[in-house]
């Protein structure tokens, strides 16, 4: 069967990359994926949650999974990370055990024992053998009963093609089918550390893909998941908690925060998770501002609402505080939820579906200009010699993000307040009440302009 790279596929075989910390699992993951998806750093134990990507390997669709390092001496989250790595390996169609040439550590030996039941679907890659370095030592690994080992360098790319050929030769692609279902709504979970993003991710995806801990900063990589709600498919991006720059001291957290911010670009809708007990911060304001600038839909999800005293008008009071704090984002819905017990999640998802439909809405040029004439009659432009202008016509530049352009005789004279008037009218009259709307004013008959 031939596979089309332009299509998506389901029932794709999964390959788990496993091993002790710092043997190069994430570097190999990025090498196979041909992009920097997993965070790499010399610090052992950078990867915590499994990070997955669907790629093409030798012309075939493969799902690769980077896992956390297997440890014997455990502290903090190490037990959770180790067990998750073992579980991921057990559920994969193929396991690539990554070792390092030279000394074998107790973690390596223990992991080899744990993987013995899966020996028939395990390949062994010996990393960091660039240019033949330490290959002689690597052959000693055959004493552990492996039929074959693959000498590679994840960093330099040595013999990666040979490993890829071995991987695809061991996989069964007979059940892979083209996925012609509708495009999923992409949702990014953003917010400060420890607000419940991973708990919400796990509840929505009915999984334990994201590690959940009371320790702030548990999530480092962007963890992807998928789920359906009332026949609508969703793609979920669970991100690292975003703290103030002055509080970010580790390189690892710096990369994590950057990935979280970049996930806004991949999202249609952002769930900004706010701890209803602690309230919001300047960081929440910055996150919301970034999403607004990118034209993404934003829903303020007030998590842990079940722990808030249920006094009269509590929800209205919380909404008033958010509206005051987040200024010009009055269009963004506010939904109280509890990721722990699931309350409010139907409303959250129903709202996100409505929001997405608005994001992809297109307005015919004729209908837009009929509405524009009405708006100009209701609030005519100024008539003074310095302030006068005429708006002649408009058109929709794009959807998702929603952008309109209006052509004016004197663009420099169109005030911010008049642009705000047009934006509010577009939201109310054209069906964009839940999403950000960008407006650009251009000179009539010219290509230049400015976005508002």
Q: How confident is the model at residue 240 (pLDDT cuts 50, 70, 90)?
A: low
Q: Token pair of 103, please? A: 């000394």
Q: What is the pLDDT of residue 88?
A: 84
| CA atoms 23, 208, 53, 286: torsion sign | negative
Domain extent, residue 406, equals 365-451
The verdict on 351 and 371 lying in the same domain is no
3 lies in a domain? Answer: no
The C-alpha angle 217, 218, 223, rounded to 5 degrees, equals 110
In a domain, 4, yes or no: no
Least confident span in 75-84, 248-257, 332-341, 379-388: 248-257
Q: Among 54-58, 80-84, 203-207, 413-417, which is the least confidently predicted range?
A: 80-84
Q: What is the pLDDT of residue 76?
A: 47
369: number of Cβ within 10 Å: 16
Name the residue with higher pLDDT: 51 or 215. Answer: 51
Q: How many domains does the chain have?
A: 3
pLDDT at residue 208 in the model: 53
- Average pLDDT (400-424) is 94
Q: Classify burial at 310, counting beta carbons within 10 Å of its beta carbon; exposed 0-12, middle 13-18, buried 19 or more.
A: exposed
Are residues 361 and 434 in contact, defined by beta-carbon separation less than 8 angstroms?
no
Indicate if the pLDDT at residue 56 is higher than 50.
Answer: yes
Verify that 146 and 226 share a domain, yes or no.
Answer: no
DSSP-assigned letter for residue 87: H
Same structural domain, 89 and 148: yes
**What percentage of the chain exceeds 90 in pLDDT?**
48
| Predicted structure pTM score | 0.65
Q: What is the mean pLDDT of residues 312-337?
A: 90
Confidence band, pLDDT 50/70/90 cuts, at residue 231: confident
Token pair 């960008």 is at which residue? 438
Same domain, 90 and 205: no
| Residue 448 banded pLDDT, cuts 50, 70, 90 | very low
Out of 230-244, 269-283, 366-380, 397-411, pick the least confident. Answer: 230-244
Question: Is the Cα torsion angle 339, 327, 451, 442 positive or negative in sign?
Answer: positive
The residue out of 336, 359, 382 marking a domain boundary is 359
pLDDT tens digits along 327-350: 889 999 999 999 999 999 999 999
For the ranges 22-31, 53-62, 148-157, 177-186, the lowest mean pLDDT is seen at 177-186
- Residue 2 in any domain: the answer is no
32-36, 40-44, 76-80, 351-355: lowest mean pLDDT where?
A: 40-44
Q: Check whether residue 437 and residue 377 sit in a common domain.
A: yes
Are residues 325 and 263 located together in one domain of the fold?
yes
pLDDT band at residue 48 under the 50/70/90 scheme: very low
CA distance 68 to 81: 6
What pLDDT score was predicted for residue 70?
76
pLDDT of 40 over the 70 cut: no
Write the pLDDT tens digit of every residue in 156-199: 999 999 999 999 999 999 999 887 767 899 999 988 878 888 88
Residue 291 lies in a domain: yes
Average pLDDT over residues 293-309: 93
The answer to whether residues 137 and 247 belong to one domain is no
Task: Give the per-residue pLDDT at 37.
Answer: 53
pLDDT at 32: 93
- The DSSP H or E segment spanning 62 is strand 60-66
Q: Where are the beta strands (DSSP E) in 367-451?
A: 391-398, 402-408, 437-443, 450-451
Percent of the chain with pLDDT over 70: 84
Residue 70 lies in a domain: yes
Q: Is residue 1 included in any domain, yes or no?
A: no
- Given 132, 156, 177, the domain boundary residue is 177
338 & 386 share domain: no
Number of residues in the chain: 452
pLDDT of 78 reads 54
Lowest-pLDDT range of 66-80, 153-167, 374-388: 66-80
Answer yes or no: do 194 and 172 share one domain: no
With a CB cutoff of 8 Å and minimum separation 6, the contacts of 426 are 371, 404, 432, 437, 439
| 323 vs 137, higher pLDDT | 323
> Cα separation of 369 and 425, whole Å?
12
Same domain (yes/no): 234, 130: no
Task: Answer whether residue 131 is part of any domain.
Answer: yes
Among 303, 337, 359, the domain boundary falls at 359
CA–CA separation, 289 vs 222, rounded Å? 20
Q: What pLDDT score does 379 carry?
A: 95
pLDDT greater than 80 at residue 248? no
In terms of domains, do 245 and 353 share one? yes
Domain of 344, CATH number, reads 3.40.50.300
> Is 211 a residue whose pLDDT tops 60?
no
User: What number is the average pLDDT over the span 315-322?
Assistant: 90
Q: Residue 108: pLDDT above 50? A: yes
Same-domain pairing of 437 and 415: yes
Say yes or no to pLDDT of 220 above 50. Answer: no
pLDDT for residue 104 is more than 80: yes
CATH number where 443 lies: 3.30.300.20
> In which band, very low, low, confident or very high, does the pLDDT at 75 lie, cut at 50, 70 and 90?
low
Nearest-angstrom CA–CA distance, 412 and 181 = 46
Residue 191 is assigned to a structural domain of this protein: yes
The pLDDT confidence band at residue 150, using thresholds 50, 70 and 90, is very high
Per-residue pLDDT for 215 more than 70? no
Lowest mean pLDDT among 204-208, 217-221, 317-321, 355-359: 217-221
The secondary structure of 172-197 as a DSSP string is: --TT-EE--SPPPEEEEEEESTTSSH
């Amino acid at each position: 069967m031939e596979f089309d790279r332009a299509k998506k596929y389901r029932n794709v075989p999964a390959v788990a990359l496993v091993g002790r910390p710092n043997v190069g699992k994430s570097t190999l993951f990025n090498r196979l994926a041909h992009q920097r998806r997993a965070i790499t750093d010399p610090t052992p134990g950078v990867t915590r949650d499994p990070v997955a990507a669907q790629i093409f390997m030798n012309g075939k669709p493969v799902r690769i999974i980077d896992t956390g390092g297997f440890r014997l001496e455990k502290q903090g989250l190490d037990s959770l990370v180790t067990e998750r790595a073992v579980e991921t390996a057990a559920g994969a169609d193929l396991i690539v055990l990554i070792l390092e040439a030279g000394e074998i550590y107790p973690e390596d030996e223990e992991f080899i024992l744990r993987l013995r039941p899966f020996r028939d679907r395990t390949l062994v890659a010996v990393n960091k053998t660039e240019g033949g370095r330490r290959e002689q030592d690597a052959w000693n690994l055959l004493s552990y009963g492996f039929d074959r080992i693959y000498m590679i360098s994840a960093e330099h790319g040595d013999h990666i093609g040979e490993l890829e050929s071995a991987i695809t030769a061991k996989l069964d692609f007979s059940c892979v089918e083209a996925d012609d279902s509708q495009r999923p709504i992409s949702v990014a979970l953003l917010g400060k550390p420890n607000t419940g993003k991973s708990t919400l991710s796990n509840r929505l995806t009915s999984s334990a893909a994201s590690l959940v801990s009371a320790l702030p900063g548990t999530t480092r990589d962007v963890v992807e998941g998928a789920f359906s709600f009332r026949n609508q498919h969703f793609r979920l991006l669970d991100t690292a908690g975003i703290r103030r720059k002055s509080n970010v001291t580790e390189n690892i957290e710096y990369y994590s925060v950057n990935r979280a911010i970049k996930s806004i670009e991949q999202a249609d809708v952002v769930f900004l998770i706010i701890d209803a007990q602690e309230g919001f911060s300047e960081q929440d304001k910055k996150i919301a501002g970034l999403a607004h600038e990118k034209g993404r839909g934003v829903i303020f999800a007030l998590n842990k609402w079940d722990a808030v005293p249920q006094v009269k008008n509590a929800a209205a009071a919380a909404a008033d505080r958010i509206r005051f704090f987040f200024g010009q984002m009055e269009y963004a819905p506010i939904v109280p939820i509890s990721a722990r017990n699931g309350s409010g999640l139907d409303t959250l998802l129903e709202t996100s579906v409505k929001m997405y439909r608005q994001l992809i809405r297109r307005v015919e040029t004729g209908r837009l200009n009929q509405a524009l004439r009405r708006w100009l009659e209701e609030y005519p432009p100024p008539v003074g010699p310095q302030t006068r202008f005429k708006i002649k016509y408009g058109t929709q530049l794009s959807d998702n993000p929603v952008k309109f352009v209006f052509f004016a005789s004197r663009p420099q004279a169109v005030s911010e307040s008049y642009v705000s008037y047009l934006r509010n009218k577009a939201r109310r009259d054209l069906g964009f009440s839940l999403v950000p709307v960008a407006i650009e004013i251009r000179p009539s008959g010219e290509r230049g302009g400015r976005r508002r």
